[in-house]
Amino acid sequence: MFDVSKRIKELREKSGLTVNGLANLAGISQSYLRDIELGNKKPTVEYLEYICDALKISLVTFFDFSSNDDELLSLIARLTAKQKDKLAAFLKSIV
């Protein structure tokens, strides 16, 4: 299964950012980002987009579509209708 919290931490560290630095760039609280990285909270698509923007990557890059498509479909299936709408709008904007 794709681990969102692990991926955020991996990309943050690769970018040379601290939790505080990434939180500031993303416009979210340091404690919220820390909770996400620790797996205590799951970010919404909207917040994940803020984090990706701060890391200067796309959601596509974040999810690395070269990985198992079944895993991605499983994650998408768990989104709320509103989150799916936002994800669809985002994907349409980059295609």
In the predicted structure, residue 63 carries a pLDDT above the cut 90: no
Q: What is the domain range of residue 59?
A: 4-94
Q: Which residue has the higher pLDDT, 46 or 69?
A: 46
- For the chain, the domain total comes to 1
In the prediction, which pLDDT does 59 show?
Answer: 87
Mean pLDDT of 14-31: 96
In the prediction, which pLDDT does 79 show?
Answer: 87
- In order of 64, 70, 75, the CA distances from 30 in angstroms are 25, 32, 25
For residue 75, give the CATH number of its domain. Answer: 1.10.260.40
In the predicted structure, residue 52 carries a pLDDT above the cut 70: yes
pLDDT band of 91, cuts 50, 70, 90: confident
Total residues belonging to the chain:
95
pLDDT band of 77, cuts 50, 70, 90: confident
In the prediction, which pLDDT does 61 show?
Answer: 85
pTM above 0.85, yes or no: no
State the helix-helix crossing angle for 4-14 and 45-55, rounded to 10 degrees.
Answer: 20
Mean pLDDT of 54-60: 91
Q: Which long-range contacts (CB under 8 A, 24 or more apart) does 15-21 make?
A: 15/55, 15/56, 17/55
